[in-house]
Structure 1
């Protein structure tokens, strides 16, 4: 007060407002790339303000692959990826060496079946009795192993929900830094929903919490899905339980069933991607559902199992059940800590594809990555379509070419032929022989240079395509792809093969 010269509040406010405007302008107009005036990364880093760079990195969450990781000449990287993505049912539509668009052609008509894809929060493979867990937490899911297709060797892309959602919707390797769900310019990408939408499906992303979290609603609503979340539950609906993450799984499935009923009543097929939350701290769920205690991981896993069983039982009463495929998997494992930088046992997740009227039960023990789920599902539906997915239809892939992409925020893994290659910032890498049970690993000596080149090519090309805006959906992607003509009738398949949608290649016997 002693130093005040008698100024008014509005006069002092103008000064504060001026500083606020200057601050906003600087935040919007200035970015961390403005200092990069040379091709020498050391010079560029020395020219940056350390505090500003710190906050810029925090704000963007982005790592430029070409700046921090080992690279190949662009032409070689694209050539390698085109060769690795070539499969028997796929034909490149262009001679452009940097265009990954393929025409996927099947034999015979498509199957216009409904699809419900459930990505379960933190459902590690080692929670299942099927994989040796003695605690009997998953009796229903264990029983489903013998009622549909079950995949023993699926590995997640990452350790966070957004990584699983990215892999399931876009079928891409994980790019360094933030998931594409949270990146800028992530609209109108080529997604699983767009393939369904071209066939008249209604595609919904259904979440029991508020989808602003992790940018989920924005991403899905701008990439072919209708975003449905906690706000779409009627105020009069009975909510059996909820916490900070959202409503309990059983209430989420009630919301999903309502969407399925509505779409079916409109005469459309539906594709729903349902993301659960109950198997997440604080592990709370409605009382009286399972024997395991509330507030514990064991209880949450058991409740997850119970609620899926309850959902399937309720769906069984619906007129569309017989023509619906249920795909159940995990977004990631419950723990990422291990003995190595990328412990493969912390990426092992289960996968069921269940449709009793359309799929004969069988276990498949081939290596599979999370990015392979979308094209494998479309193969079971016998869809002919244009694709820029990085994943494989596992049933079309020649043995020995399987691979997965386990990764962290900055360590990018490539698992192939029992060798794990991990690309790291500062252009470093590790290569090791992993122990799938313990997560331990032994360094590979000498290193396999071919697999290093494959890993680099996949991650470099995926990052470059997104950076250039070339993962987007194009108008010609809606152009129908003519199926292959039906082949002459042959002798019946052996009884051990899988009866899937017409035209699909049966899974190899376990």
Structure 2
């Protein structure tokens, strides 16, 4: 055997085994997705061969990331007998651990797709930050998946370790050949990672060839998908923007024009959107405000929006206040809903500002505005407030008090995500009843309608025979909401309080369209005090709720939120909504929709009969407005210009 052949065999044997095991596993999983789980959607896309070939490409890229450093180090270590044996053991342990991680992420994929309709992304990483809640959820809802992982991971990793151990060899490499091979192997490893001779390395946009994002993601593997999302998130931070070019000054100008605010009401050049808002309802004493954020309550569950008959209490309350027939969430996660409702901030390709570093203080929220006007401000939640960084963001931006799971004494029921909605609302009712004449604002965030859908026994007549289903959880959440409002309407705070009931997002946003607009449709309702019953049918967004609430409360204020005060906006004028769906964003104005994908030309559709239809005529002005709104968030976050002015004195209401 020549020195070259011997050096290659000794240096590369373990790496070849790891690559073989990994390719076989990832290819088998992709084949299962393509031919068993999602065969109908793959067939509809007509991209079977493309998915399989590109899948192999991304599997090689993933292996390249994991194996490049060990391969190059092995070339230098293999000629030295004193350290070669120990190196082989260390390398074997590394590869077994790496394969275990790859298998775990891949086995988690079906459950993740069921929830988010795409392979694991940055949400996967973020959920791992909260092991208590996630592990409890997995035990209750995904026990079968855990058992499967507990069997499959040891079997495959055990087989790899056995094969690696049998491949151990003496240090018989030739140092000269190792040095000669180093540039060759460096080139090949780099090529495996870049997967192209082009100027830019391959990335997920290569496989974004259909409007079905889940089908596009099948051509990746889940480990690569998570790595790419983490890299992209850390690189872009709050300045993520890749939808197109527009002059920043013009973008801000277009956003301001769309705010329906008189030019003379803008008050600060350093904070471009800071403006005076004059309340549509003038009051001697402004109302209290309670925002009830309902977990995962999509329109398809709400009878008044044409959904299933699961919300009789909300449907009844809808007749008593200002009800929105055509309102859309800005995203698919709770923090995106919090971002929109509490701050009025537009969605971006980055994480919600609830999690971004530079927005942990000095970032505008309605809590800060109301605190400066003499209100007590609070957050009431049945789970642990550290989840999704909520407590840090809230306490740094105007919330004075937080009530969370540890503050509930003898709750009626405790599930994976905290106490039941009934316990939550009982706590809220007690706190509001004790407020007296002091004005207050509170964000009350429910959690019962969340996987694994746990709620107290014998509280509702189940819609589904099986207990732990989303339909039953929605019905329980509505039951708890109804009980609360029965108490509230008889309370000492009812006549002085404005309530906003609104969903944070839908339970499962999925579909074959670039952005499944239908799945962003959510309920919202203002009621309480003297609110006149009315239905608002024009398109509206979660970001419109903040200025509308201030107007109904009777609060004259100054703030940077760009949402519309819907109490003073002509209903014949088309409304607009922004929806962030992973890295894709939709801007809907009336029934016209502009959709942006990273590094691609914008596409224009009409939204008719709850579906996107390609529009023949292109509206350049609409695209520019959409692009301006997409860029507003990154610009204002980067510049620190989404805030209240410093050292501002406000009139307090007693």
TM-score interval (norm. to shorter): 0.7 to 0.9
> 1:153 is matched with which residue?
326
Query: How do residues 54-453 of structure 1 correspond to structure 2 at under 5 angstroms?
Result: 54=228, 57=231, 60=234, 62=236, 68-87=242-261, 91-94=265-268, 96=269, 99-106=272-279, 108-109=282-283, 111-133=285-307, 135-186=308-359, 187-234=361-408, 237-262=409-434, 264-265=435-436, 267-292=437-462, 294-355=467-528, 357-398=529-570, 399-437=572-610, 440-453=611-624
Q: Which runs of 5+ in 1 are unaligned?
A: 5-41, 482-510
Structure whose residues are more often helix by fraction: 2
More off after superposition, 394-403 vs 166-175: 394-403
Counterpart CA distance in 1 for 2:266 and 2:647 is 14
When normalised by structure 1's length, the TM-score is 0.78
Q: Which runs of 5+ in 2 are unaligned?
A: 1-81, 84-197, 203-223
SS in 2 for 1:428: coil
Mapped contact 2:279–2:550 kept (Cα < 8 A) = no
Mapped contact 1:149–1:364 kept (Cα < 8 A) = yes
Displacement of 1:411: 0.9
More contact order relative to length (CA 8 Å, sep ≥ 6): 1
More off after superposition, 361-370 vs 423-432: 423-432
SS in 1 for 2:265: strand
Cα RMSD (Å) of the superposition? 2.8
Mapped contact 1:120–1:276 kept (Cα < 8 A) = yes
Mapped contact 2:346–2:632 kept (Cα < 8 A) = no
Structure whose residues are more often strand by fraction: 1
> 1:463 is matched with which residue?
634
Displacement of 1:370: 0.4
Change (3 A) 1:172 1:52: closer
When normalised by structure 2's length, the TM-score is 0.62
Change (3 A) 1:314 1:57: same
SS in 2 for 1:431: strand
Aligned residue-pair number: 431
Mapped contact 2:289–2:442 kept (Cα < 8 A) = yes
Displacement of 1:43: 7.1
Mapped contact 1:89–1:106 kept (Cα < 8 A) = no
Query: How do residues 491-510 of structure 1 correspond to structure 2 at under 5 angstroms?
Result: none
Counterpart CA distance in 1 for 2:262 and 2:483 is 40
Larger radius of gyration: 2
Describe the superposition over 1:188-233 as per-residue Cα deviations: whole angstroms up to 9, x where unpaired: 2111112211221111111110111111111111111135243442
Change (3 A) 1:177 1:45: farther
Displacement of 1:345: 0.7
Change (3 A) 1:88 1:381: farther
Displacement of 1:476: 5.1
Counterpart CA distance in 2 for 1:344 and 1:67 is 21
Change (3 A) 1:407 1:55: closer
Counterpart CA distance in 2 for 1:302 and 1:51 is 35
Change (3 A) 1:445 1:480: farther
Counterpart CA distance in 2 for 1:89 and 1:308 is 41
